[in-house]
Structure 1
Amino acid sequence: MRSTRIDRRTLLLGAAGGALPLLGSVPAAAARLKVAALFAGKIDDRGFMQAGHAGLKLAAAVVSADLDVTQNVPPQPEALATALRELAQKKPDLVVAHGGQNNAAAKVVATEFPDVAFVVTQGNVTGPNLASYEVLQEQSAFLAGALAGLITKTGVVGHMSGIRVVPGLKGRAGYAAGVAHTNPTAKLLTNFSGNQDDDALSKKVATAMIAAGADVVFTMLNAGRMGAVEACRETGVPQIGNVVDWTTIVPDVFIASACADSGRAVFQAVADKAAGRFAAGHIRQVGLDTPEAVRLTMAPRVPEDVRTRIAAIAAEIVAGRLAVPHDWRGEEFPTPA
C-alpha cells in the first residue's frame, strides 16, 4: 500500500467554488466522463455527506461528467457492497464510495469489476483498480483537542461521534492527543453512539456529558449534530464542530470547527480520472499543509494568545515535528439509554 500526498497545486477548485492554485488544467475529455457515487448517508446532512456531494457536483461541472448518485444506504458492508455492485454494473468510468465505511465493500466489489475504477474517500484500501483519497481530518481534530484543553475550566472535555469508521476513530485519537498536548490532566469523555444522524440520541449524549462536567464538546456527526447543538445552547456549553466552518453557521454555540473538506477528496479523484492521472494502487492525502482543505477555524471570542498557540501547534504538525496518532485506548463514555 503506497501513500502519496496531494500537493496543494494539484487541487483545482474547492467544494465551495473558490479558486485554488492549479498544477495544470484538466484536458477536455473525448467523451463525457461517467461517474457513479455512493453516499452512505443523506446528501443534505450539512456535514460529511453533503460536503462530499458538493465536491462531486463541482467536479461534474468542471470536467463535464454525467452522475449516477445513490444515497442513504445503511452503513453495513453487505448493503454497501450491493449498492456498489448495482452502480458498477452500469460500467461507469469511476465509482466513488464516499466514506471509510466503504473500505471493506469496495475492496471486494472492485475485484469483481476489474475494468471499472473505484475510489474510497476517507479510505485506506487500494488495489489494481482501487484508490483511496483522504483528507486528514485527524490533523484538524488534534487542533480542536488542543483548543479544548486550553479553554476548559472544569478540566473535562467531550467528544461525540456515531459509527466506528476508521476516519472517525483517527479523528477521536487526534482530538484526544490534542487535549493531552495542551492539558495533560484534563479528562476526556468520548462516545460513539452508533448513529451519525439521530438528533434525539445526540442530544441525550451531549446532555449526559455536560452533566458529567464537560464544558466543551467536540462533535463529529452528520445530520444528528443539531441535537447536540440544542443541548449546548440550553446549558451554555460551547461546541467544536467538524467538516465545515460551523462558527459561521451557528455562531452562538460553536467556538471552533475542525474543518476537513471531504468534498476535495471527491473532487480530486474525479479530476484525476478525467486527466488520466487517477492514482489506482495509492492512498492520496491532504492535510494542514493545505489549509483550504484542512484547518481549525475559531470564533472571534477565542483569545489572541490561544490563537497564537494553536497556530504554533499547526506549524509543528506541518513541519513533521509533532505526530498525530491514529489510535486511542481508554474508557468510553456510555451511551444513555
Structure 2
Amino acid sequence: MTLLRPNRRTALALISSACLPTLGRAQAPKKVAALFAGRIDDRGFMQAGYDGLKLAEARLGVSVAFKQGVQPKPEELTAALRELAAAGPDLVIAHGGQNNAAAKAVAAEFPSVRFAVTQGNVTGTNLASYEVLQEQSAFLAGMLAALTTRTGVVGHMSGIRVTPGLKGRAAYAAGVAHADPKVILLTNFSGNQDDNALSEKVARAMIAEDAQVIFTMLNAGRDGVTAACRERGVKQIGNVGDWTAIAPDVFIASAFADSGRALFDAVADFTAGKFATGEIKRLGLETPEAVRLVMAPSVPVDIRGRIEAAASSIVAGTLKVPVEWSGSEFPTPA
C-alpha cells in the first residue's frame, strides 16, 4: 500500500477545514429548570418568579423548563426537584423558601448541577440562595397601616408558614409598633395561599374585630380579601407586585418585593460565571426596582415623608428590621 503524504499547502488546508466546524458552531444555550410550588398565574409570588424566568430566557438566551402546581410538601418538592435535575439542566432553581430542605438534599445527589433557592437560606458546594428582603418593605407597610387606621386595629394575613413569610409578618408587626405602639395587630396564617373562600372568611372575621387596614401576603387567595374589603370599605396593602395599580379603590399601598428579580439574578450570575455558590445573596431597599413600598396618591404627604425617612434609615443601617415575632395569633374561623 502506498501512503500519500500531503504537501505543506494541502496539510494546512486539511487542518483549516477540520477546525472550521468547531469555530463556526454556536454554543448551546445554558439549560435552566425551575420549580414553582404553586400556580404561575397566581398574580403573586409564583407568577413573579415565573416572570423572572421568562425574562432570563428573553434577555440571557437560556433554555428554560419548569414544573408548577407542586404541593408544598417535603416529599413532593424533593421528588419534583429530583425529576428536574435528572433531565440534565445546568441550573435548577427552586422558587420559594419552602424548598430549602428539598434543595439541600437533591443538590447533594447531583453534584455536577448548580442549584439555587429563591427566598431561601441554604447553601452548599453547588447550592446558593438568592433572597429579596421583602421584610424591609413589609416593615414600611406596617408603619403605613398604623398611621392610617381609623380604628386603632390592623390586620395581617398569610397562608403557609415559610421562613420569608414569618420574617415578613415579624417586620410588619415591628413597623406597626414603630409607628404607633398602641395599635392592635391581628395576624393569621390560614394554611393556604390560594383559597379565596378561606381568605375571605378570615378577612371578614378580622373586619368584624375592627381591622381597618389588612396586609395580605397571599397568592391567588388575595381576591377573597379584596372582595371583603371592598364591601366593607376597608383598605388593603398588597405584596410582591404593585396592587395599587390593579385595584386602586381597595389598595392603599403595596409592599413591593419582586421575587422574580432573585430568580433572574441567579440565572444572570450563572451565565456570567459569578454564581454565588455557598452564599446567600440579598437584595433590599437599596435596590428599589426589587424592594420598595408603593403608596397610593391618597397617602398624606406627612405620612409619606415619615415612611420615606424610615426607608432611608433602613438602607443606612441605622434602623434595624426585626425578623422574629412572638405573640397571640388571630384564629382561623371554623
- Normalising by structure 2, report the TM-score: 0.92
Question: Is residue 2:122 matched to residue 1:122?
Answer: no
1:67: Cα distance to partner? 1.1
Aligned to 1:190: 187
C-alpha distance in structure 1 between counterparts of 2:246 and 2:38, whole Å: 21
Letter in 1 for 2:252: I
1:30: Cα distance to partner? 3.0
C-alpha distance in structure 1 between counterparts of 2:266 and 2:194, whole Å: 26
Q: Helix, strand or coil: the match of 1:157?
A: strand
Aligned to 2:206: 209
Aligned to 2:305: 308
Which has the larger Rg? 2
Aligned to 1:155: 152
Question: Is residue 2:278 matched to residue 1:281?
Answer: yes
Give unpaired runs (5+ residues) of structure 1: 1-28
Letter in 1 for 2:259: S
- Name the structure with the higher helix share: 2
Alignment of 1:310-329 (within 5 A): 310-329=307-326
Return the structure number with greater relative CO, CA threshold 8 A, min gap 6: 1
Aligned to 2:83: 86
Moved >2 Å (runs of 4+): none
Aligned to 2:135: 138
The total of aligned residue pairs comes to 309
Letter in 1 for 2:158: S
Q: Helix, strand or coil: the match of 2:154?
A: strand
1:152: Cα distance to partner? 1.2
Q: Helix, strand or coil: the match of 2:146?
A: helix
C-alpha distance in structure 2 between counterparts of 1:219 and 1:308, whole Å: 23
1:262: Cα distance to partner? 0.4
1:31: Cα distance to partner? 2.2
Aligned to 1:38: 35
C-alpha distance in structure 2 between counterparts of 1:128 and 1:254, whole Å: 43
Give unpaired runs (5+ residues) of structure 2: 1-25
Letter in 2 for 1:135: V
Aligned to 2:170: 173
Deviations 1:97-119, CA, capped at 9 Å, x for gaps: 00000001101111011110000
Question: Is residue 2:231 matched to residue 1:231?
Answer: no
- Normalising by structure 1, report the TM-score: 0.91
C-alpha distance in structure 1 between counterparts of 2:102 and 2:188, whole Å: 25
Question: Is residue 2:268 matched to residue 1:268?
Answer: no
Q: Helix, strand or coil: the match of 2:237?
A: strand
Contact 1:191 1:332 in 2 (8 A): yes
Contact 1:157 1:215 in 2 (8 A): yes
Aligned to 2:245: 248
Contact 1:33 1:63 in 2 (8 A): no
1:154: Cα distance to partner? 1.0
